Homo-oligomer: A and B are copies of this chain.
Amino acid sequence: MMMVRKSKGLGERHQKILDFIQEYQHTYKHPPSIREIGENCDISSTSVVNYYLDQLEKNGYIERDRKISRGLRVTGANASVDTLRIPILGPIAAGFPLPELQPGVNYLTDNEAHAVDVARNLLPSKEKGTDLYALEVKGESMIDAMINDGDIVVMKRADEARNGEMVAVWLPRDNEATLKYFFKEKDRYRLQPANPTMKPIYINRDEPLEIKGKVIMVIRKVESYAA
């Protein structure tokens, strides 16, 4: 009895094979062999598996490196996503100096707890990934930047900024760390809160102002409101 193709492009067996490849890759971190696919999808002959694999490839569901053992991968939506592990250097809070990144130190240990994994496609495409770090916001002092207690801010290392970029700055004048949009005006700096309803603060050019980095992303894990 012949198996009929159900949904025009993908038959039941194609789907099963595709699913198996993904699950296998996910579990073992390497692709399955033709024979393993066969065993798992109740196909007794390697040539039949090859037959289906060819079709899947022709239709763009997978890619194959011929002649190479286990040289196949699924393409498209469920393909593996490229991520960047960004170290969380420490907290940022109003009255405390910002954590400095020590040059030459490799923050990328296997310590998942002190890092955030961000998909590369969420970052500017040119972003290489070095000179990125993250800070954990403590307290509610960044509220005028639309940033709340517990938020993670992803930063790019920088000691100067162009107009309109959001920066983390240390203001020796007020002894305070803050996040603001940065503007250089005729003889002063304007630090503009992200919240449009709030007013900017001004710093004279001759006053010190230390830019610690540019904010490129904010991540907030929303939890139950602590009332």
Contacts and interface: CB of A to CB of B under 8 A. Distances in A.
Contact of A195 (B28, B69, B82, B143): B143
A162 B225 CA distance: 11
A3 to B, nearest CB: 22
Given A216-B221, A220-B218, A227 B30 contact: no
Interface string A125-142: 000000000000000100
Interface of A is mostly: loop
Interface in A56-98: 65, 68-73, 75-83, 85
A175 interface: no
Contacts of A222: 166, 215-218
Given A31-B30, A77-B111, A117-B121, A143 B197 contact: yes
A21 B218 CA distance: 32
Q: Give how many copies assemble into the complex.
A: 2
Given A143-B197, A148-B146, A217-B220, A85 B78 contact: yes
A129 to B, nearest CB: 11
A221 B85 contact: no
A209 interface: no
A196 interface: yes
A143 B143 contact: no
A28 B83 contact: no
Give the interface size bracket for A toward B: 35 or more
A41 interface: no
Contacts of A226: 164
A73 to B, nearest CB: 4
A116 B110 contact: no
Contacts of A117: 81, 83, 119, 121-122
A181 to B, nearest CB: 4
Given A65-B28, A146-B146, A110 B77 contact: yes
Q: Which 4 A-B pairs have the closest CB atoms?
A: A76-B110, A69-B69, A117-B119, A164-B224
Interface of A: 26, 28-31, 33, 65, 68-73, 75-83, 85, 108-112, 115-119, 121-122, 140, 143, 146-148, 162-166, 181, 183, 192, 194-197, 215-222, 224-227
